[in-house]
Structure 1
């Protein structure tokens, strides 16, 4: 009888204990050492995103042999990136084309790239189910599963 009570208490505690509301994402650019492919997670441990319902984003921009990878929170890049795809669910998809970008600008300096046409291929990858999911593979263990496994192991001994 005491074992069943202990098991019920552990299950209830496992359901009540939850992680914080913030999502942890890697926030770096591949111009920084360790942020390229593969990501060196010892240098970048991840930071919390500012919004409570945020997503982790990995933006891959390619021009011939040059590849730039940006890992960031979605709420951070929405203020200055207009090529974000409309579908922001889990997975990778090509960038959207903003036809209004640089429409009213008459600028002859090509290095400014006001139309964002420098890169041949831009891919957006979204994820929000796991912490630090916009980089290396990670393993997350639920507190509930860990406690149930411990109790089951204890009862079988």
Structure 2
């Protein structure tokens, strides 16, 4: 794929770093704590990859997956728009159309979770940590500006 080792090392250095874990890992739930998985995260395999946080909900059950988009390429419900931000999962009406499957636990039609949300980010390394972390930075800037004006 790469002609020489220099191009390979350049492609690796250009790849984004993402957190790669599931909510079964301590610290990888809705409230994110990097101490359970490591502060650096992992290099994504593709040079033009995107960090993804997938939140799947059904009632009180919530499964959160943080990974690189290229590692989730087997999923058919990834939204077409993969730019920064959060979007609902795409619906594939032909998924498992010709499957006669009676074991509901296999979930071949992917209907177990009734709410699936994909959050994409690629403008910063390790950006798939948490919504709370992304909101807190602008909030801190706003508070600092208000305090500066009030003096």
User: What is the TM-score normalised by the length of structure 2?
Assistant: 0.75
Residue in 2 that maps onto 1:91: 85
**Cα deviation 1:37-71 (Å, max 9, x = unaligned):** 21111222300000000000000000001110000
- 1:55 paired with 2:50, answer yes
For residues 72-94 of structure 1, the C-alpha deviation after alignment (integer angstroms, 9 at most, x for no partner) is 0001101x210000100000000
- Correspondence for 2:20: 27
Deviation at 1:109, TM superposition (A): 1.2
1:101 to partner: Cα distance: 1.1
CA distance in 1, matches of 2:24, 2:109: 22
Deviations, residues 83-127 of structure 1 (Å, cap 9, x unaligned) = 000100000000000112111110111111110000010000000
Q: Per-residue deviation at 1:34?
A: 1.4
Unaligned runs of 5+ in 1: 1-19, 139-157
Q: Which moved more, 1:100-109 or 1:58-67?
A: 100-109
57, 70, 76: which one pairs with 1:75? Answer: 70
1: distance between equivalents of 2:17 and 2:35? 15
Single out whichever of 88-97 and 104-113 deviates more from structure 2: 104-113
Separation (CA, whole Å) in 1 of partners of 2:36 and 2:106: 31
- Alpha-carbon distance between aligned partners in 1 of 2:30 and 2:111, rounded to the nearest angstrom: 24
Residue 117 (structure 1) aligned with residue 111 (structure 2): yes
CA RMSD of aligned residues (A): 1.5
Count of matched residue pairs:
119
| Correspondence for 2:35 | 42
TM-score, length-normalised on structure 1? 0.72
